[in-house]
Amino acid sequence: MAKILIIEDEKNLARFVELELKHENYQVVVENNGRKGLEDALNENFDAILLDLMLPDLNGLEIARRVRQAKTTPIIMMTARDSVIDRVSGLDHGADDYIVKPFAIEELLARLRAVLRRVDIEKKAQQGPSGQQKVVRFKDLTIETANRIVHRGDGKTVDLTKREYNLLMTLIENKNNVVSRDQLLNKIWGPESNIETNVVEVYVRYLRNKIDIPGRPSYIKTVRGTGYMVRDED
């Protein structure tokens, strides 16, 4: 069941779209505020985002830009203004498609199906012709590499964002060795990025929140002043 995030401040419209999507068996989360919507988009894994352009706190273009820096979740912009400039800037900022308000719900559903189908095709391509999942195991974690799903020792399943996944895999590839913050930045955000090293700490926190079992020591050890490591044995 695909999970959809709606970021829309017109509550009646948001509610209407929510009900229609639920009727189609989608799982739906609604945010009426730009900043909260961005937080959800970054911290959870959605299959697609329906994003309004004009929003309180943070506008849709900025949300699209920031989501796109971190992940590939398809974004459909919903804009009231049917000008070429808006469409172009929406697409420039990382939106995959746009729909002009007022729209027919059937059109929105069709566009949503189209972006979801595309993602599905991309996923299958990544899995290779056999469609088989490659699985990596570390301690009691089982990681499905094609869809970035982690099965934890306590039976829970979590899905990782691309960056969280890359972070975890980098640490596992270098297990029993310390990986410095700079190495992680370089590997995950690229040598050209102007991102500050504390972003690594933030992502390590996201990752720990997802993969660690509450009450047990973290899989990821902090090596003070240097970086992070995972170890076969504690």
Among all residues, whose Cβ is closest to Ca ion?
54
Taking the least distance from each CB to Ca ion, the nearer of 37 and 94 is 37
Taking the least distance from each CB to Ca ion, the nearer of 65 and 221 is 65
Helix (H, G, I), strand (E, B) or coil at 173: helix
Question: If we measure between CA atoms, which residue out of 33, 32, 105, 29 comes closest to residue 73?
Answer: 29
Compute the least distance from the CB of residue 206 to Ca ion, in Å.
29
Compute the least distance from the CB of residue 157 to Ca ion, in Å.
35
Compute the least distance from the CB of residue 11 to Ca ion, in Å.
10
Taking the least distance from each CB to Ca ion, the nearer of 54 and 149 is 54
CB 109 within 8 A of CB 76: no
Compute the least distance from the CB of residue 30 to Ca ion, in Å.
13
| CB burial readout 81-115, b (16+ within 10 A) else e | eeeeebbebbeebbbbbbbeeeeeeeebbebbeeb
- Given 18, 31, 47, 52, the residue binding Ca ion (CB under 5 A): 52
Contacting residues for 194 by C-beta, under 8 A, at least 6 apart: none
- Given 2, 29, 42, 54, the residue binding Ca ion (CB under 5 A): 54
The strand pairing partners of 138, in sequence order, are: 141
Q: Classify residue 29 by its DSSP letter.
A: E
- Given 9, 20, 24, 212, the residue binding Ca ion (CB under 5 A): 9
Rule CB under 5 A: say whether 31 interacts with Ca ion: no
Compute the least distance from the CB of residue 9 to Ca ion, in Å.
5
**Site residues (CB under 5 A) for Ca ion?**
9, 52, 54
